[in-house]
Chains A and B, each alone.
Chain A
Amino acid sequence: MIDTLLPPALILLAGAALIGPVRGIMRDAVLLLAPVLTLWAIWQIPDGVVTTTQFLGYQIEPVEGGPLRRLFATIFAVMALVGGLFAMRQARWYELAAAHAYAAGAIGVCFAGDLITLFLFWELMAIFSTVVVWCGGTSAARAAGIRYAIMHLLGGVILKVGIEGVIVHTGSVDIQPMLAVNFDTWMILIGILINTAAPPVSAWLADAYPASSPTGSVFLSAFTTKSAVLALILLFPGEGVLIWVGLYMVFYGIIYALLENDARRILAYSVINQVGFMVCAIGIGTEMALNGAAAHAFAHIIYKALLFMSAGVVIYRTGMTRCSDLGGLFRTMPLTTICGIIGALAISSFPLTSGYTTKTLISVAAEQQGLAIVYFLLAAASAGVFLHAGIKFPWFVFFQKDSGMRPKDAPWNMALAMIIFAAACILIGVWPEPLWALLPYEVAYEPYTAGKVLFYLQLLLFSGLAFFLLLPWMRRTLTISLDTDWFWRVLAKRLVALLSRAGTLIGKRVGQPMQERARRGQLWLGQQLGSSGTLGRTWQIGTTALWISVLLSLYVLLYYL
């Protein structure tokens, strides 16, 4: 019976393949039913290895169940469903198909029981997420898509090198916890960290996601970084270096988001910030911390998609994406404003929202381990999240000033998708137990004690006070902020130009005389080999015989010597 189970990823992949050929209401049906069927299949998979097969001489396990895998696969399928609903009337069919194939890759990663299967689905995600970026349709989207593809293919190669190394040196393709202790494991860790947008290559995320279509960024925000978080939980729980990588990402996201003018780039930086919390938790590595990372990933996919949805509706209705062009939209877009605010409160872990009942698990884990610096930095970062995403995003997009624009609110399908996710943010906030029951370890935590609620209200509302007092310092400017991608987007280009100049100079100084000599040599050879040359002209038979006898005599002589 188990062998007849259909891998969930294949169901969604089949759905992706069908979206193009079918039309009208049938397309809508495929778009919405494929994720529902996938969700059903996800919940049929029992714990442990379900299917095994031979691939390139290796015994691989394409489907392995488990609570953690099921949790991530569930939220990926839900994301495909609600994202599909959000995009069904506005996105082109090939963006929808690519988004479903992309989600299928992420779900495939969830159930991969071995490194080879993980790698194959990893690359599937890279390919189709690139297509989603390209669906932005502008020249900027095409260029950003190419940079995105290069980064992810490079990450894939590094991951593959690590996987090959592990297979060669241990003989095992199994996915099992490891630490970064040798070249192979470091390569795997780096390959995965590239997908989490860890330093020094964090820039790919804020470069690519905002270049996609208003609907594409909703899908992009969910799968790549969170499947990498799952891979880290499965492969590197308790790897100490991740604590500091995660903390770097947390503050990198805040600082860059504070400097940013583009609404979707603010959200993109806050993805890195939030994934930083998860990476840090995986580094702490206790049961509480891993629960925190998993629960936070689940909640984050929902509120981050909600934030990208509200930004997507604004862009869809106004065509504007810069904070300096936006403002005052709450007048005619009340639903989008309220949903955006709920998403912003959830990302800030405001009490009664999903962020509060999930992200705080990570702080508790740091406290339980006695990691004082980590605990205080996470608390400061929580305040910073409210600053850069919790207030800044809704304030500049929906309030701030009157931009004069009076756009309509969201179309019905976009509105419904936002309402579903906004409701989920509040539901997980007020009733977290059903989500906690899905976590890999038992949760022994009481989030709503008076002391904890007061702590977070003080932290967040005084962060809000800092925002409004420092508002004159945060006036939006028509600027971007340089990042490490400057090294390969500008410096590398300048070096190539420099080398090209050097090449031209060398060509002139050395190449030209060489060319003259070569030309003379060619002329001389032509004279010798031409029809009138020494070696080319017709010789008499007697002369030929004479030369042959001379050569043979020389050969015999040399042989006896």
Chain B
Amino acid sequence: MRESQDDHWLTRPVTIRRLWIGFALVLGALVLAGLQIKVKGYFGIDDLFGFAAWFGFGSCVLMVLVAKALGALLKRSESYYQEEATGASTESAATSTDSGET
């Protein structure tokens, strides 16, 4: 059933493989185009060959890594704030009961 639903040409493995090949060719052509087209650098380092390609790739990898690291620290379940609200009210109710007993 899944196969009958998912038969769009864009989702077929052969199409995806072709898209990857096409994408790789475009990326290669963009880098090689730097041999012909002068990309003006302003601060020295951006005069290096293919600067924008490796700088764009590298900074994105770095951002994903930072996001992963921060995610480990900051991610909570979707119901975190609801649970906090319920937990706080339960806790305060429990506190008042406790204090009432003692």
Give chain B interface residues in 7-56, CB to chain A under 8 Å: 8, 10-11, 23, 26-27, 30-31, 33-34, 37-40, 42-43, 46, 50-56
A508 adjacent to B66 (CB under 8 Å)? no
- CB 8 Å contact bits of A446-466 with B (1 = contact, 0 = none): 000011101111111111111
Q: With CB as the reference atom, state the residue of chain A lying closest to B61.
A: A466
A169 sits at the interface (CB 8 A): no
Q: Give the number of residue pairs across the A-B interface with Cβ within 8 Å.
A: 165
Q: What A residues does B40 contact at CB under 8 A?
A: 451-452
Query: Could you tell me if B39 and A451 are in contact, using CB atoms closer than 8 angstroms?
Result: yes
Query: Would B59 and A465 count as touching, CB distance under 8 A?
Result: no
Q: Does A467 contact B (CB under 8 A)?
A: yes
- Identify the closest chain A residue to B96 (Cβ): A504
Check if A550 is an interface residue, CB within 8 A of chain B.
Answer: no
Q: Is the CB of A465 within 8 A of B76?
A: no
Closest to B50 in A: A458
Q: How far is the CA of A330 from the CA of B43 in the complex (A)?
A: 43
Complex Cα–Cα for A451 and B42 (A): 12
Q: How many residues of A contact B (CB 8 A)?
A: 59
Question: A259–B71 contact, CB under 8 A?
Answer: yes
Chain B proximity mask over A489-522: 1 for CB below 8 Å, otherwise 0:
1100110010011001100100000000000000
In the bound complex, do residue A255 and residue B5 qualify as a contact, i.e. CB atoms below 8 Å apart?
Answer: no
A49 at the interface (CB under 8 A from B): no
B60 contacts A259, CB within 8 Å?
Answer: no
Query: Would you give the shortest CB distance from A332 to chain B, in whole angstroms?
Result: 10
B50 CB, nearest partner CB in chain A, Å: 7
Question: Contact between B57 and A466 (Cβ–Cβ < 8 Å)?
Answer: yes
Asked if A454 contacts B96 (CB within 8 A), the reply is: no
Q: Which residue of A lies closest to B10 (CB)?
A: A330
Could you pull out 6 A-B pairs where Cβ atoms are within 8 angstroms?
Answer: A258-B63, A379-B55, A384-B60, A402-B11, A454-B33, A459-B52
| Top 4 closest pairs, chain A to chain B, by CB | A466-B60, A380-B59, A458-B52, A459-B56
Besides A380-B59, A461-B30, A480-B77, 4 other A-B contacts (C-beta < 8 A): A379-B56, A380-B63, A479-B71, A497-B92
Interface residues of chain A, those whose CB is within 8 Å of chain B, are: 251, 254-255, 258-259, 261, 328, 330-331, 367, 372, 375-376, 379-380, 383-384, 387, 399, 402, 404, 450-452, 454-468, 470, 473-474, 477-483, 489-490, 493-494, 497, 500-501, 504-505, 508
